Each structure stands twice: as structure tokens, then as C-alpha cells.
Amino acid sequence: MTPELSVVVPVYNEEESLPELFRRVLPVLESLSRSYELILVDDGSRDRSLALSLKFREKREDRVKVVELNGNFGQHMAIIAGFSISRGKMVITMDADLQNPPEEIPRIVAAMERGHDVVGTIRKFRQDPLFRKAASKIVNAVTNRITGLRLHDYGCMLRGYDRRIVDLILQCRETTTFIPALGQKFAVNPVEITVRHSERAKGESKYGLFRLIRLNFDLMTGFSIAPLQAVTVTGMTVAVMSLLFTAFLILRRIVLGPEAEGLFTLMAINFFLMGVTMISVGIGGEYIGRVYQEVRQRPRYVVRQVYQEEEEL
Ligand code: UDP
Ligand code: MG
């Protein structure tokens, strides 16, 4: 029997949030009066998350599946692992930390029922640290500009995708990915709705500064090569300007004679251009690093065990 709805939840060290999630999510899914499956993907948690998930599964073995990954592969890979065993006609992704209330799920289902193949979400009154909200604003704007996608909130992971979109996402074999952007890329009739958002009540964010930077570069490098073009264009502009400046200095030397002032101005310009050079090397490196990851061809994620009903294996 194929369920109508699959809900995929990546879980990484969320032992504190899971009890409340489990308490709230099943009533919501039951209220939809449709067949469903809940897929919990344990992304190599080192706390009791897996044990709690397996315990919870005992309550509804017919509905709850648990995927145990063989290590920490990141939120997006955990979702891909969940997608690969999901069978619902609609698939909804959701975080385990309850920042987006599971009570919003029916609204996503309703939007999909109206014929939308991808339902995106925008966090209303987002409750996150100020610096994250500011960084997201910049990333959203830059990403929309360089990728040609039109999304208002790339980071909100409570989203719905229909089966066709999920299968397309699964066809992409890339090791670094960003699921909302990928879904949007394949969508024919997408829509965005606003959803509530709360502060993380338990546990802490799994994204430190460096992980956030990496994730956002996954998004920008994965969907556009405009940053590389920006480097080339900057380089060309600087070269033309230097050429004009050199011509000016030669003329000045002929007319007025040699000059020696302006040493510190020159150093300031030099440092600035060194900065630009380093950023450019870095941007190139972001792509090269990802190409390197691809060519090694290691598995994108490794499943240790899937806990689900016998007949489905
Ligand atoms: N997560 C995961 N693997 C990771 C990092 C996060 O499965 O390596 C899960 C995490 O358990 C949560 C969701 O992804 O369910 C979002 O993580 P978090 O709430 O820390 O991100 P934030 O809300 O701070 O962006
Ligand atoms: Mg969160």
C-alpha cells in the first residue's frame, strides 16, 4: 500500500526536542484522515535520539519508519536518505526541533491539493538570532539574483514536494545539495505560503558559523557559476583601470617629472586588491573543493539500517 503522505524528519542530536515532537506530530497526521508514513532519519546522533525514535516507532510500527545513517552526513543528505525510502504521493520535510510547528502540515497538504507540485514556506516573525536573520536576507537576495530562482526564504525547511519532484531530486547524484532550491528548480507550479516560526526551545542549533558558511556556499555554488564570472569581471575591470592609471603616470612623468608622494595611498590600494585577489582565489576554491568531493565518488550517505515493516523490505 502506498501512503498518500510521507513526512521526512532529519534528526541530529535532538533528544531534548523529540518527546514533544512525537507528542504533537501523530495527532496532526491522524487528523488529515489520509494514509501517511513518518520517516525519522537519524543523522549519526551521539545522544539518545536513535533510541528514542526506535521506542516511538513501537507505538505505530505501521506508520513510523526509522533510518539509521552510518555517521553525520548533514541535514540535506539525511533528507535525501529519507526521500529514497519514502513512497508517499506527497512528501513533506520538517525539522525535528519544532521551530516550525507540525500543526502547519495540513496547510501544506491543502496547497498541494490545489495542484501545486512544490509548496515553499516563508517564516513569519522568524525567531532566530539577529545575525542569522541578517545573513539570510543577504543570502536570499544574492541567491535569487545569481540563480534566477525566486524564493523568499531558502532556509525554511518545512516544505512539500510531490512524488515527481522527489524522484527528480533523487535522480541528482550530487554530493552537496540544497533541497529547497533543487525542488524549486524542477517545480512547474510552485507556491509559497507563510508559516509560523518559534525559537528553538530545546537543544541548540546544529549550525555553527563555519557550517553555515559552507551550507550557504553549497547553495550559491550548487545553482550558479555567477560568482566565478564576478571574479573574472572584477579582474578585467581592475586590469583596465590599472592600464589607464599607468598611462596617466607615464604622461605625468613626461610633463611634470617623477613623483614620490602617495606611498600610503598606494599601499592601501594594494592591500585592497590583495583582499580582492584572496576572495577570488577563495571563490574558485569553493568550486574546486566541491568538484574534488564529486570526483572522489564516495557514497553521499551510508545507511546502516532501516527500521520498517517486513513486507516493505
Ligand atoms: N540536522 C541533521 N544533520 C545535521 C544538522 C542538522 O539532520 O548535520 C537536523 C536537525 O536535527 C534539525 C534540522 O536538521 O532537525 C535543522 O537543524 P537546526 O535546527 O540545528 O538548524 P537551524 O534551525 O538552526 O537552521
Ligand atoms: Mg532549527
Q: Which ligand is nearest to the CA of 156?
A: 1
CB 97 within 8 A of CB 157: no
Residue 66 CA, ligand 2 centroid: distance in Å = 20
Q: What is the pTM of this model?
A: 0.93
| Predicted pLDDT of residue 128 | 94
Closest CA to 40 of 126, 185, 30, 15: 15
- Outline where DSSP puts E strands in 127-274: 159-162, 191-195
Atom 14 of ligand 1, residue of closest alpha carbon: 75
Residue 149 CA, ligand 2 centroid: distance in Å = 24
Per-10-residue mean pLDDT, the chain, length 313 = 95 97 97 97 98 96 97 98 98 97 97 97 94 95 95 97 98 96 97 96 95 95 96 96 94 89 88 96 97 96 95 58
In what order do the strands lie in the sheet containing 191-195? 191-195, 118-123, 159-162, 90-93, 5-11, 36-42, 64-69, 303-307
Atom 19 of ligand 1, residue of closest alpha carbon: 205
Q: Which ligand is nearest to the CA of 153?
A: 1
Residue 31 CA, ligand 1 centroid: distance in Å = 26
CB 42 within 8 A of CB 66: yes
What is the tens place of the pLDDT at every residue in 108-148? 999 999 999 999 999 999 999 999 999 999 999 999 999 99
CB-defined site of ligand 1, < 6 Å: 10-12, 14, 43, 72, 74-75, 78, 95-97, 99, 205-207
Residue 166 CA, ligand 2 centroid: distance in Å = 23
DSSP H/E element including 67: strand 64-69
Ligand 1 atom with minimal separation from the 96 CA: 15
Gap between the Cα atoms of 171 and 85, Å rounded: 14
| Predicted pLDDT of residue 311 | 67
Gap between the Cα atoms of 160 and 1, Å rounded: 21
| Predicted pLDDT of residue 312 | 54
Ligand 1 atom with minimal separation from the 10 CA: 7
The CATH architecture annotation of domain 5-207+299-312 reads Alpha-Beta Complex (3.90)
Q: Which ligand is nearest to the CA of 132?
A: 1
Residue 201 CA, ligand 2 centroid: distance in Å = 9
Ligand 1 atom with minimal separation from the 203 CA: 20
DSSP assignment letter at 89: S
| Predicted pLDDT of residue 313 | 52
Ligand 1 atom with minimal separation from the 41 CA: 7
| Predicted pLDDT of residue 1 | 76
Residue 95 CA, ligand 1 centroid: distance in Å = 7
